Copies of this chain bind each other. A is one copy, B any other.
Amino acid sequence: MRLVVARCSAHYTGRLSAHLPLATRLIVVKADGSVLLHSDGGSYKPLNWMSPPCAMAVREPDAQAAERGVSAVWTVQHAKSDDRLEIELHDVLHDSAHDLGVDPGLIKDGVEAHLQTMLAAQIELLGAGHSLVRREFPTAIGPVDILARDAAGGTVAVEIKRRGEIDGVEQLTRYLELLNRDPHLAPVRGVFAAQEIKPQARILAKDRGIDCLVLDYDAMRGVDDVDSRLF
């Protein structure tokens, strides 16, 4: 990894055209050839970049560019497309290279898939007497996260989101519409389950007769831990 802090301007052409006026920025050149141009604020997204696979060519500025104060021109060309990033370097304030090695990568926990697994294992969170039919119950318009039966034998369709917003309720509504056409399943009740349910989503769900269930991730994980001790 090479780190360069320099006054520079940049031009990108590819899926769009974009230009960065002259300013001081961090330029990161990664081991795989990818390049990031970062400013000293904003979020994690660079001002401009080139994704791998790509290769960088360095050349001297022409007379006109040199006149403008350009000390070097870096052209980063994507290997499989016409995407190209051209950086004009002026003053270089810092330049260092570092051997980082391969990263073992991020280990995640608490995403939607995990919530689904845990809710399936703790299906009585839907209410006493509920039983799991199956996870990822297939329908013509896609799989329903969880299909269950309640104590009275009625069918329950569950849509799980990490954060419950309106589009999740819409999704569940479409599933319910379809499932309720199946005489073997109908009537099917809907449950919208999420770690956090936005007020608007809650209102829409209520309007559609869909129950809301807030999932307490830590509590569910705690139960999982207890379960795992039994084995």
Residues of chain B lying within 8 A (CB to CB) of residue A96: 94, 96
The answer to whether B36 touches A44, judged by C-beta atoms less than 8 angstroms apart, is: yes
The answer to whether B34 touches A43, judged by C-beta atoms less than 8 angstroms apart, is: yes
A16 at the interface (CB under 8 A from B): yes
Q: How many copies does the complex hold?
A: 2
The answer to whether B104 touches A23, judged by C-beta atoms less than 8 angstroms apart, is: yes
Of A62-70, A107-115, A207-215, the stretch lying at the interface with chain B is A107-115
Residues of chain B lying within 8 A (CB to CB) of residue A93: 98
A75 at the interface (CB under 8 A from B): no
The answer to whether A40 touches B47, judged by C-beta atoms less than 8 angstroms apart, is: no
Residues of chain B lying within 8 A (CB to CB) of residue A34: 41-44
A57 at the interface (CB under 8 A from B): no
A122 at the interface (CB under 8 A from B): no
Of A48-56, A127-135, A198-206, the stretch lying at the interface with chain B is A48-56
Residues of chain B lying within 8 A (CB to CB) of residue A19: 106-107, 109
A15 at the interface (CB under 8 A from B): yes
